[in-house]
Amino acid sequence: MTEKRKVQFICQNCQAPYSRWQGKCDGCETWNSIQEEVILSKSGVRATQLVKTAIPISAVKVYPEETISSYFREVDRVLGTGFVKGSVCLLGGEPGIGKSTLSLQLAQKIAATGHKVLYISGEESASQLFLRAKRLGPNPPSLLILVETDMADILTVIRTEKPDFVILDSIQVMAHPDLTSPTGSISQVRYCTSELIKWIKELGSCALVIGHITKDGSLAGPKVLEHLVDVILFFEGEPNQQYRILRCFKNRYASTAEIGIFQMVASGLAEILKPSELFIDEVTFQNPGSSIVPILEGNRALLVELQALVVESGYGMAKRSFLGVDSNRASLMIATMEKLLRVKLGGKDIFLNIVGGFKLSEPGLDLGIILSIASSLFEKSMTAKIGVIGEVGLTGEIRAVGNIEKRITELQNMGFSACLLPEKNRKNFPAKATIQPYYVNHIRDAVTRFLGE
Ligand SMILES: Nc1ncnc2c1ncn2[C@@H]1O[C@H](COP(=O)(O)OP(=O)(O)OP(=O)(O)O)[C@@H](O)[C@H]1O
Ligand SMILES: [Mg+2]
**What's phi and psi for 380, nearest 5 deg?**
-130, 135
Bridge partners (DSSP) of residue 36 are: 9
Same domain as 207, residue 115: yes
Q: What spacing in Å lies between the alpha carbon of 9 and ligand 1's midpoint?
A: 38
Domain end among 217, 243, 273: 273
Does any domain span residue 400? Answer: yes
Q: Report whether 382 contacts 307 (CB < 8 A).
A: no
Same domain as 35, residue 79: no
Same domain as 168, residue 130: yes
The confidence band for 45, taking pLDDT boundaries of 50, 70 and 90, is very low
CB-count burial class (<10 Å; 0-12, 13-18, 19+) for 312: exposed
Quote the CA–CA distance of 382 and 287 in Å, as a whole number. 8
Quote the CA–CA distance of 285 and 355 in Å, as a whole number. 10
Same domain as 147, residue 194: yes
Which residue owns the Cα nearest ligand 1 atom 15?
98
Ligand 1 pocket, CB under 6 A? 93, 95-101, 123, 264, 266
Domain end among 273, 288, 316: 273
Indicate if the pLDDT at residue 227 is higher than 70.
yes
Domain with 225 in it: what CATH number?
A: 3.40.50.300
The confidence band for 53, taking pLDDT boundaries of 50, 70 and 90, is confident
| 102 alpha carbon, closest ligand | 1
Structural domain for 428, as ranges = 277-451
Indicate if the pLDDT at residue 423 is higher than 80.
yes
Q: What spacing in Å lies between the alpha carbon of 69 and ligand 2's midpoint?
A: 22
Same domain as 158, residue 213: yes
Which of the pair, 46 or 250, is modelled with greater confidence? Answer: 250
For the beta sheet containing 165-169, the strands, ordered from the edge strand earlier in sequence to the opposite edge, are 143-147, 117-121, 165-169, 206-212, 88-93, 231-236, 243-251, 259-265, 268-271
Domain with 321 in it: what CATH number?
A: 3.30.230.10
Indicate if the pLDDT at residue 436 is higher than 70.
yes
Which residue owns the Cα nearest ligand 1 atom 25?
95
| Ligand 1 atom, smallest distance to 95 CA | 25
Same domain as 292, residue 269: no
Tell me, what's the pLDDT at 55?
Answer: 83
Domain end among 243, 273, 303: 273
* pTM of this structure: 0.77
Weakest-pLDDT range from 128-137, 206-215, 401-410: 206-215
Bridge partners (DSSP) of residue 11 are: 34
Quote the CA–CA distance of 394 and 147 in Å, as a whole number. 58
pLDDT by residue (tens digit) across 179-202?
A: 888 888 778 888 899 999 999 998
Indicate if the pLDDT at residue 94 is higher than 70.
yes
pLDDT by residue (tens digit) across 68-81?
A: 998 888 899 899 88
Does any domain span residue 57? Answer: no
Which of the pair, 263 or 299, is modelled with greater confidence? Answer: 263
Weakest-pLDDT range from 10-19, 37-46, 309-318: 37-46
Same domain as 354, residue 249: no
Q: What spacing in Å lies between the alpha carbon of 418 and ligand 1's midpoint?
A: 41
Q: What is the DSSP string of 155-196?
A: HHHHHHH--SEEEEE-GGG-B-TT--SPTT-HHHHHHHHHHH
Mutate to test the pocket of ligand 1, among 94, 99, 125 (most ligand atoms within 8 A of CB): 99
Mutate to test the pocket of ligand 1, among 90, 91, 101, 132 (most ligand atoms within 8 A of CB): 101
Which residue owns the Cα nearest ligand 1 atom 7?
266
| Ligand 1 atom, smallest distance to 93 CA | 21
Q: What is the DSSP string of 241-261?
A: SSEEEEEEEEESSS-S--EEE
Instruction: Tell me the average pLDDT of the chain.
Output: 86
Same domain as 164, residue 86: yes
Q: Report whether 371 contacts 384 (CB < 8 A).
A: no
Does any domain span residue 50? Answer: no
Q: What spacing in Å lies between the alpha carbon of 131 and ligand 1's midpoint?
A: 12
Indicate if the pLDDT at residue 432 is higher than 60.
yes
| 95 alpha carbon, closest ligand | 1
Quote the CA–CA distance of 47 and 59 in Å, as a whole number. 26
Indicate if the pLDDT at residue 253 is higher than 90.
no
Give, to the nearest 10 degrees, the angle between helix 99-111 and helix 126-136.
70
Which of the pair, 214 or 64, is modelled with greater confidence? Answer: 214
Tell me, what's the pLDDT at 178?
Answer: 87
Does any domain span residue 385? Answer: yes
Tell me, what's the pLDDT at 46?
Answer: 47
Does any domain span residue 60? Answer: no
For the beta sheet containing 2-11, the strands, ordered from the edge strand earlier in sequence to the opposite edge, are 17-18, 2-11, 34-43
| Ligand 1 atom, smallest distance to 99 CA | 21
Does any domain span residue 241? Answer: yes
Quote the CA–CA distance of 201 and 205 in Å, as a whole number. 7
Q: What spacing in Å lies between the alpha carbon of 123 and ligand 2's midpoint?
A: 7
Indicate if the pLDDT at residue 137 is higher than 50.
yes
Q: Report whether 176 contacts 182 (CB < 8 A).
A: no
Q: What spacing in Å lies between the alpha carbon of 93 and ligand 2's midpoint?
A: 10
**From residue 326, how far is each of 253, 362, 372 by CA, in Å?**
29, 9, 15
Quote the CA–CA distance of 384 and 449 in Å, as a whole number. 10
Tell me, what's the pLDDT at 284?
Answer: 63
Does any domain span residue 379? Answer: yes
Which residue owns the Cα nearest ligand 1 atom 29?
96
Q: What percent of the chain has pLDDT over 70?
A: 91
Mutate to test the pocket of ligand 1, among 125, 234, 264 (most ligand atoms within 8 A of CB): 264
Q: What spacing in Å lies between the alpha carbon of 85 and ligand 1's midpoint?
A: 28
Q: Which of 210-214, 248-252, 336-340, 380-384 has maximum average pLDDT?
A: 336-340
Tell me, what's the pLDDT at 282?
Answer: 65
Indicate if the pLDDT at residue 271 is higher than 70.
yes
153 Cβ partners below 8 Å, 6+ apart? none
Does any domain span residue 33? Answer: yes
pLDDT by residue (tens digit) across 297-354?
A: 877 888 888 999 999 988 778 899 999 899 999 999 999 999 998 888 888 999 999 8
Same domain as 436, residue 323: yes
Same domain as 254, residue 301: no
The confidence band for 281, taking pLDDT boundaries of 50, 70 and 90, is low
| Ligand 1 atom, smallest distance to 212 CA | 25
| Segment (H or E) for 110 | helix 99-111
Query: DSSP secondary-structure letter at 59?
Result: G
The total of structural domains in the chain comes to 3
Indicate if the pLDDT at residue 113 is higher than 60.
yes
Tell me, what's the pLDDT at 352?
Answer: 95
Tell me, what's the pLDDT at 320?
Answer: 92
**What's phi and psi for 172, nearest 5 deg?**
-70, -20
Bridge partners (DSSP) of residue 295 are: 302
Same domain as 114, residue 131: yes
Same domain as 331, residue 398: yes
Mutate to test the pocket of ligand 1, among 100, 236, 244 (most ligand atoms within 8 A of CB): 100
